[in-house]
Amino acid sequence: MENRGDEDMENSIGISSFPDQIGGMFDKSSFLELLGIQDFAHPSIFSLPPLSPPPQPPPPETSEACNLPATPNSSSISESSTEAAAAAATADEEGEDEKEKEKKTLKGKKGQKRPREPRFAFMTKSEVDHLEDGYRWRKYGQKAVKNSPFPRSYYRCTSAMCGVKKRVERSSDDPTVVITTYEGQHTHPSPVVSRGGGGGGGGGFALPPQLIQSHLQQMSYLQSLSSPLDLGQFGLGQERRIHNPPTSAAAAAMMRDHGLLQDLVPSGVMKEEA
């Protein structure tokens, strides 16, 4: 029972560590969209001052500061597109009500398979499990996962019209690495953390703009590649080794960019969902 299916979910998604360097030559809109972010420079998005549209925002003062590239921590992102994207679109159209209904239906009747929503996994080197991302999350479950001594926490966006879910777990390999997986898209622009203002409420996910940009470019890069990189074993514990394709110059470049980060977080890659 060590590694049976491990997690088809994690297997379906890829992860890549991001350099603190920003290229800005990728399409980040897709990533933001998935996060429900419409305006990257939105002041309320990451609790950042409205004066940081440029790729060099001031370091936050909150705990998530440790996520900043300035600190010894890196993050990775993975994304699942294909059917997931379609599912997301569908979910977006249907709305939460439909989703809820669907869930109930599924519960009562197990005939249909619930389409997966787009997922993005971030590997963040941080001491805190919950990082702020500007959204409010409510923890609805925690489960011990195989191959990892750390439990996985399940969060759901508290917004009534948003069914975005988030999983947070620590890497079994590197306890200092927090793996956050977003599922679905935020149907609301900017929740604005009113409660607690800085982490007092539910678990948030810190995603510094800088980091995001990095994520974006890598994600986009991954999307562009569309290569079935094997990162299924990203870490559920076994050996999250990266198999970056030698044919991908971009990948190589990315890896180069990783630099020290690579040492912090085992790189990963994205893998399209089958």
Partner DNA sequence: CGCCTTTGACCAGCGC
Partner DNA sequence: GCGCTGGTCAAAGGCG
- Cα 84 versus chain centre, distance: 14
Minimum distance from residue 142 beta carbon to DNA (Å):
4
Q: Are the beta carbons of 72 and 264 closer than 8 angstroms?
A: yes
How many residues would you count in the chain? 274
To DNA, the closest distance from the beta carbon of 101 in angstroms equals 11
Extended strands (E) in 25-95: 75-79
Between CA 127 and CA 118 the distance in angstroms is: 26
Binding site for DNA (CB under 7 A): 1, 4-9, 103, 106-110, 113-114, 130, 136-147, 152-156, 158, 165, 167, 195-196, 200-203, 236
Candidates 198, 195, 249, 240; CA nearest to 221 is 249
Taking the complex as a whole, how short is the minimal distance between the CB of residue 260 and DNA, in angstroms? Answer: 30
Q: Which is nearer to DNA, 93 or 110 (CB)?
A: 110
> In angstroms, what is the minimal distance from the CB of 53 to DNA?
28
Nearer Cβ to DNA (168/251): 168
As a whole number of angstroms, the distance between CA 151 and CA 164 comes to 20
CA–CA distances in Å: residue 166 to residues 18, 19, 203, 247: 20, 23, 10, 33
Q: C-beta of 139: minimal distance to DNA in Å?
A: 4
- By beta-carbon proximity to DNA, the closer residue of 125 and 156 is 156
d(CA 48, CA 45): 7
Measured from the CB atom, the residue of 109 and 249 that comes closer to DNA is 109
Cβ closest to DNA, residue 74 vs residue 172: 172
Identify the CA nearest to 20 among candidates 80, 83, 72. Answer: 72
- DSSP assignment letter at 99: H
Smaller CB distance to DNA: residue 110 or 249? 110
Task: Find the shortest distance in angstroms from Cβ 176 to DNA.
Answer: 20
